[in-house]
Amino acid sequence: MKKFLIFAMAILLLVAGCGKQEEKKQKKQVKPPVVEKEEPKEEKVEEPIQEETVNEPEAVPVVETKIEAIPGQHRNPNEIVVVIDPGHQLRGDSTKEPNGPGSLVMKARVTSGTTGVSTRVPEYVMNLDVSLKLKTELENRGYTVYMTRSVHEVNISNMERAQYAETVGADIAVRIHGNGSSNQSIQGAEAYVPSGANPYVSHLANASSALGRCVIDAYCAATGFRNRGVITSDTMTGMNWSTVPVMILEVGYMSNAEEDQKIQDPTMQNNMVQGIANGIDQYFGF
Ligand SMILES: [Zn+2]
Distance 24 CA to ligand 1 centre (A): 29
81-122 confidence digits (pLDDT tens): 999 999 999 999 999 999 999 999 999 999 989 999 999 999
Distance 87 CA to ligand 1 centre (A): 6
In the 8-state DSSP scheme, what is residue 58?
Answer: T
Distance 181 CA to ligand 1 centre (A): 12
Give yes or no for a contact between 220 and 140, defined as CB atoms under 8 angstroms apart: no
Average pLDDT for the chain: 84
Closest CA to 196 of 248, 142, 234, 168: 234
Distance 15 CA to ligand 1 centre (A): 33
Counting Cβ atoms within 10 Å, is residue 177 exposed (0-12), middle (13-18) or buried (19+)?
buried
Predicted TM-score (pTM) of this structure: 0.77
Lowest mean pLDDT segment, chosen from 23-37, 204-218, 233-247: 23-37
Distance 22 CA to ligand 1 centre (A): 28
CA dist 215 and 191 (Å) reads 8
Distance 81 CA to ligand 1 centre (A): 23
122-146 confidence digits (pLDDT tens): 999 999 999 999 999 999 999 999 9
* CATH architecture type of domain 19-34+49-284: 3-Layer(aba) Sandwich (3.40)
Give yes or no for a contact between 257 and 251, defined as CB atoms under 8 angstroms apart: no
* SS3 state of residue 146: strand
Distance 190 CA to ligand 1 centre (A): 12
Closest CA to 25 of 14, 36, 11: 14
